[in-house]
Structure 1
Amino acid sequence: MRRGCVAYALRSRWREGNYWDDDVHDYADLNWDTVDVLTQKIANVFKEYCEMNDKVLLLLHNTIQLPLSLLAASRVGIIAVVLNPARFYVDAIKDVLKETQPKLVVTIDAFWQANVLLETKKCLDLAIEESEVTSIEKVLVIRHTGPNPGIPPPDKFIIGRRPYYKLEVKMNDSVDILWTTLMKQADPNCEVVWLPRDHPFAILPEWDPTIRLRTVSTGQLLRAVEKYSREVMSFCLSLPHPQTPLGLVGCLAPWFGGMVLATFEGILDWPDPSRLKHVIAKYEVTSAILPTCKLDPEYMSFVAVPTLRRIITEVGNASTLEENFSDVEIIEMDVEKSLR
């Protein structure tokens, strides 16, 4: 664990998300105590605006706040609605707002996908305005890409690098509030609310072509997470987004088994198609949960991943992964069967 990052995260007044360390790229590293404290703080913040069975929309890509918020919501019986802003924009957000009527929204200002800046807060504002939804009491905004207040901009702007000083984020004082403002004030102790097995853990929106809300109960999720936790090894990289069943199970299975979870915010073909192996090698990942994805065998062959021992993937995806990870054990698991 790199304690410098954790220490900075705890004392910083301004930034949340990933942190810069001198000898590595943009990343965060949290120990178990920090995860526990943050989960309880987030749960107490949620309780300020939501009651049991109310909904919180988690409009987040693969940031560390997403699995923490999932655990926090479940801790107090609040139902998480998970939406991936890397794939779904204004129209989809409008659909979700109308169908779920959340009391609370957690989102980020913006984030980079390669050299493309996705302004999530701007999309959310437009969706709220056009949907005319009135259920939302607060929008919690994580400053993820925007600059620190009062810090002068650099002489040169680098596309894809944070903070990005050209990003402008409008805050509505009656609804919007910075995540850090509430986290600093929140009580780090929150009692667990015991839930029945059929209590909704999360709602996963799907479109085919119209919206369908899939509910995963606490009992279903725990059964699936327990099965997957038997197969993962620490350090475990979980790549799919938690809006998908595999991503929801994958982001919690390592923690359920007492292991280290690694997440990745970027895309797999930037700056070149070997990115996935570079991430695995850099952080010495030993196991990975991977969805079906396009990989380039030629580029992937350039990078060795000596620490990687096992990959867990969807049924039917093993042959593709074996071509790119010839010396790694590949296990296919049916997440739908595990969730029954």
Structure 2
Amino acid sequence: MADEVLSMIVSAKLIPPPEAYAARSYLSSYGEYRAKYQASIDDPAAFWDEIADELVWQQRGKTVIAGDLPDFQFFPGSYINVCENCVDRHAKDPMYRNKVALFFEGENGERKSVTYLQLQDAVSRFANALKDLGLRQGDVVCVYMQNLIETYVALLACLRIGVLYNTVFAGFSAEALRERIVRCGAKAVICANGSLRRGRVLRLKETVDRALEGVETVEHVIVYRRLADLDTPMTPGRDLDFESLVEGASRDCPPAVLEANEPSFLIFTSGTTGRPKGIVHAGGGFLLGTYAYTKYQLDLRPEDIYWNTADIGWLTSHIFVLVGGLALGTTTLLYEGALDWPKPGRLYEMIERYRVNKLFSAPTAYRMMMKHGEDVARSYDLSSLELLVSVGEPFNPEAWHWVRRVVGGDVAVINNTWGQTETGGTPLALMPGAVPIKPGSCGVPFFGHDLAVVDEQGREVPDGVPGYLVIRRPFPSLARDVYGDRSLYLNAYFSRMPGLYFTGDSAVRDADGHFWVLGRVDDVINVSGHRISTMEMESSLIQHPAVVEAAVVGEPDEVKGQVPVAFVTLERGWEPGAELEEELKARVVADIGSFARPARVYFVAAMPKTRSGKILRRMLREILQTGEVKGDVTGLEDWEVVERLLHDLRERAPGHE
């Protein structure tokens, strides 16, 4: 890593949280955080036992933690139901039962809401309908739906009766859906008939029908008619109407008695080359961890109006909305569609309409706000915003400062977090009322989480020195397995450094204890012996006023070993060309050094991204080096972006006519 990035980390200023915010926070001083964190490290069982006191248990034993990485349990022999904690206990409380649990707004402007009592009725009825179809504890269903209240009803119903669910992003192809259905042996599929995205109708049921060709395990397909006028094919004897099933079912459905470490759901995460992995999370552990993350990292309270923009196909929604958010009794906004459709200010319009005070999104969305400019943001009343949370990939300081100034009015707290599908939460974040902010950092370790930056041998490196990010002890929401492949689970996460959870990310811890996650370990380019972080080069490019997003990947070179190649998207009003390309190359040279000069800069209309908003740099490498995409593509949000990239790169290939 070049001195410039280390200098940026060292020189980053601590910004204390506003006093008014700190006064309302669960933790209100850095000293309070440090004391609680140290106590949780000295006695993690006591910390998790304290969190457990705030939940409803069916039966709770005395043992809190058993075993160690990779074979561990939290509250072995204890019993707890996730749905009961997220729905029933609020529906029974006179202070909560008529409180809105979920607001919904569709891209077409449709709006509705559901209270906790109404949610309990709907979930119980759907759970009984699933039982009437013969689904039992341990069976698996695939849920292929967008952000709808009915989606949450379906997932909570599964959690209620112990049926494992697997959510599949509702933009995935039939092939991607089929692979997940087959891999988990799903007995049923729950889907919407259609979805809206940028004014287009996505025919989800037809995708399901194509996915199920030749698949024999699926006995039922339950179809929610999101678009009433959409012609929807239904196969007699297999396909059932969602609303008809719920209408005829009883609302009396006691929560199943479930052991805290039993598998609760699985979610597939894409690998760099092989097939996607079905990550398995335990119900009790996931509830325990996500409740704690959401409480302390989001300061989530019953009076909040909270919006997490993540799609339900992304685990962030399960962590901070479905389980963490509902368990804390908050009111959450669900939105179907693109955040800047049909106008750039759609996101701001919804913040203003619902008076959202806590917003959770990805750096990609925040950079989108920046791309649309200050005038759009200032057209709306955003004064309700108190907390802006980010996760997904590094949040560059330039966009960070813009968002805080323009969207947050220079007073909102920005909490840039780090987590993975496998961690089931965000082990790094701020306690927003207690820990001072550093633009660009991922904050500090969460309670009971022992994180370190180590070298190849697993030895901790000094502060300020980059290395591998690892976690040294178990925590409740950490994935327990890869579905059907225990050896893959052990090899992927625990074989490289035995006794440690290997995250696959590189990081630096600074002198103030803040962690800076720099990217995947393979996002480092070795140019003539110089190891250069791709994030470092991307940060340099993004500082140019023409650049909205940048991604840098390595290309093999006979002389230098590797050379960096940059992909950038431009602000409106800027035109791509040789002059701008040279200007961007010169900027990287000025910021980092001549050895980091990009061999080429490709101007692209859009980047290939996952459904969570992460740029797929691995895919850019494949396109660049082979002219095609060979690896796993099931995590891709929009295949048209890749087709356009392939076309544009062929146009620029030497000798092309």
RMSD between aligned residues = 2.2
Percentage of matched positions with identical amino acids: 18
The aligned residue for residue 219 of structure 2 is 137
Q: Distance in 1 between matches of 2:196 and 2:109?
A: 14
Aligned residue type for 1:133: V
Deviations 1:212-259 (A, max 9, x none): 111122133213321233122421112112332212112222211111
- The match for 1:221 among 282, 286, 289 is 286
3-state DSSP class of the match of 2:114? Answer: coil
Q: Are 2:111 and 1:33 equivalent residues in the alignment?
A: no
- The match for 1:199 among 249, 254, 262 is 262
Write out aligned runs for 1:258-273 (5 A). Answer: 258-273=329-344
Q: Distance in 2 between matches of 1:58 and 1:278?
A: 30
Q: Distance in 2 between matches of 1:238 and 1:18?
A: 12
The aligned residue for residue 369 of structure 2 is 296
Q: Distance in 1 between matches of 2:210 and 2:111?
A: 30
Deviation at 1:56, TM superposition (A): 1.1
- The match for 2:176 among 92, 96, 115 is 92
Aligned residue type for 1:194: V
User: TM-score normalized by structure 2?
Assistant: 0.43
Contact 2:169-2:314 within 8 A present in 1 as well: no
- The match for 1:232 among 274, 294, 300 is 300
Change (3 A) 1:322 1:195: farther
- The match for 1:146 among 228, 236, 240 is 228
- The match for 1:329 among 409, 413, 433 is 413
Q: Are 2:211 and 1:127 equivalent residues in the alignment?
A: yes
The aligned residue for residue 513 of structure 2 is none
Q: Distance in 1 between matches of 2:118 and 2:265?
A: 23
Contact 1:241-1:248 within 8 A present in 2 as well: no
The aligned residue for residue 186 of structure 2 is 102
Instruction: Say how many residue pairs are matched.
Output: 299
The aligned residue for residue 164 of structure 1 is none
Q: Distance in 2 between matches of 1:221 and 1:317?
A: 26
Q: Distance in 2 between matches of 1:316 and 1:264?
A: 24
Give unmatched runs, 5+ long, in structure 2: 1-102, 428-476, 479-657
3-state DSSP class of the match of 1:117? Answer: strand
Aligned residue type for 1:323: W
Q: Are 2:317 and 1:247 equivalent residues in the alignment?
A: yes
Deviation at 1:321, TM superposition (A): 4.8
- The match for 2:141 among 46, 56, 77 is 56
Q: Distance in 1 between matches of 2:281 and 2:165?
A: 10
- The match for 2:382 among 305, 312, 335 is 305
3-state DSSP class of the match of 2:259? Answer: coil
Q: Distance in 2 between matches of 1:133 and 1:68?
A: 26
Deviations 1:2-61 (A, max 9, x none): xxxxxxxxxxxxxxx9699xxx93111111110111111111112123111001111111
Deviation at 1:71, TM superposition (A): 1.5
Q: Distance in 1 between matches of 2:130 and 2:401?
A: 43
Aligned residue type for 2:288: R
Q: Distance in 2 between matches of 1:243 and 1:45?
A: 23
Deviations 1:117-147 (A, max 9, x none): 1000000001101xx1111111110011132
Deviations 1:69-116 (A, max 9, x none): 222111111001111113x12111111111012111110111110121
Q: Distance in 1 between matches of 2:243 and 2:416?
A: 40
The aligned residue for residue 351 of structure 2 is 280
Aligned residue type for 1:229: T
Q: Distance in 2 between matches of 1:224 and 1:322?
A: 30
Change (3 A) 1:217 1:318: farther
- The match for 1:317 among 380, 383, 395 is 395
Give unmatched runs, 5+ long, in structure 1: 1-16, 148-166
Structure 1: 4+ residue segments shifted above 6 A: 17-20
Deviation at 1:194, TM superposition (A): 2.0
